[in-house]
Structure 1
Amino acid sequence: MPETASPASGRLSRSLALIITEGLAPTLLVGVFLLAQPLLTPGVTWLQSITAAVFTVGLPFALLLWLKHRGAVTDHHISVREDRAPVMAFAALSLGIGVLLLMFLQAPAELFGAMGAIFIGLVLCLLANLVWKLSVHSAVAAYIALALLAPVPALGPALALLLASAVGWSRVRLKAHTPEQVLAGHAVGCLVFAVSLLLP
């Protein structure tokens, strides 16, 4: 007779999944990635990176919290697929305004490349979520993990795969997504990373 997980181990795995889901949420990953640009990309100033972060994740997340407070969305992960389009559309608009401000601030091309990759990923996730609940957590985790870790010699791609897989596991463990939705998210994140290599 197959062994079943004990209640204690089940609670532990769920707690771990919650920590991973919240600690590696899309808003946090993208925000940290953009705020770290002065350390990662020569020529990017702190004002430019803060501007990028505010308009890419800060304002959209503020809108999301307001919608949650009003009861227009169920939670800050927008678990109901039909609720995602307006928030993601606003995020795309906000990002576009941020790009215009960065042009005024004379940001280097590399920062525009990062913003462009995020915009492409946002649009792909928006289009997918019009008909299917693709995992945005997984898409963002795959892209950010590759962007930060792929350049690391030898272990970089493996570490990126580990991070993205951990996020994917957490979403499935919490029953927020199916394995297929997580894998589709990973595919989108990898595609965006591949496109980002062609950008400035």
Structure 2
Amino acid sequence: MNTTRAARLLTDLVDPKNVITVLCLAVGAHYGWSGVGWGALAIVFCAVIPIAFIVATGKERTFADRHVPERARRMIVIPVIVASVLTCLTLMIVSGAPGPLLSMVGAMLATIAVIWPITHWWKISVHTAVLTGALTMIGMLYGWWWGAANALLVPFVAWSRARLQDHTPAQTAAGAILGALVAGPVFILGL
């Protein structure tokens, strides 16, 4: 397998919607079947609705090109994601979701809210931000060793995004740092 194909495979595998899905199920499972139900609700608003909007409204009409490569297009997509995640958080608050699940969705909202203004000037990596944010939250919930072991994936994802010329190495590194620094403190509020 050539390096471009490997990079595409890794980029698609660690797509933000996939990472968010795993995160929601992992955090939800920590709180039993009701937690899994809350996690499923979060998946709908934080992964399914955003990707459906991306695919339905742009030239990213196929799953092969769903990563929204153009910065100007991201400025259209991000507000919809913010609105969808905010709707999820509101529904979860009103319905009495457990604190850690609220904090998880709050961390997603905070991360995308910080990415939004940066994207106006610079194409920071959402892939690495979502991945490190998720790994930070899972590490806080299941043990630092689990998050640290899985953090070995981050440089490979950063490489894949740069190899595909979707981001510079600086954009992937900045995304990785941002994801952990924003998601971690927000998530810890609900533990």
Q: Which residue is equivalent to 1:126?
A: 116
Q: CA shift at 1:151, angstroms?
A: 5.9
Tell me the matched-pair count: 188
Alignment of 1:87 onto 2:81:
no
TM-score normalized by the length of structure 2: 0.87
Cα contact 1:150–1:160 (8 A) shared by 2: no
Q: Which range moved further: 113-122 or 49-58? A: 49-58
Cα contact 1:146–1:160 (8 A) shared by 2: no
Q: 1:86 to 1:111 in 2, by over 3 A?
A: same
Aligned partner (choices 160, 165, 176) of residue 175 of structure 1: 165
Aligned partner (choices 51, 61, 65) of residue 61 of structure 1: 51
TM-score normalized by the length of structure 1: 0.84
Alignment of 1:165 onto 2:161:
no
Give me the identity figure in percent.
Answer: 26
Q: Which range moved further: 144-153 or 82-91? A: 144-153
Aligned partner (choices 85, 96, 113) of residue 86 of structure 2: 96
More helix by share: 2
Q: CA shift at 1:102, angstroms?
A: 1.5
Cα separation, 1, equivalents of 2:99 and 2:8: 37
- Gaps spanning 5+ residues in structure 1: where? 1-10
Query: SS in structure 2 opposite 1:110?
Result: helix
Cα contact 1:145–1:163 (8 A) shared by 2: no
Q: Name which one, 1 or 2, has greater alpha-carbon Rg.
A: 1
Q: 1:29 to 1:155 in 2, by over 3 A?
A: same
Q: CA shift at 1:91, angstroms?
A: 0.8
Cα separation, 2, equivalents of 1:68 and 1:94: 18
Alignment of 1:12 onto 2:2:
yes
Query: SS in structure 2 opposite 1:177?
Result: coil
- Gaps spanning 5+ residues in structure 2: where? none
Aligned partner (choices 192, 195, 198) of residue 182 of structure 2: 192
Alignment of 1:145 onto 2:107:
no
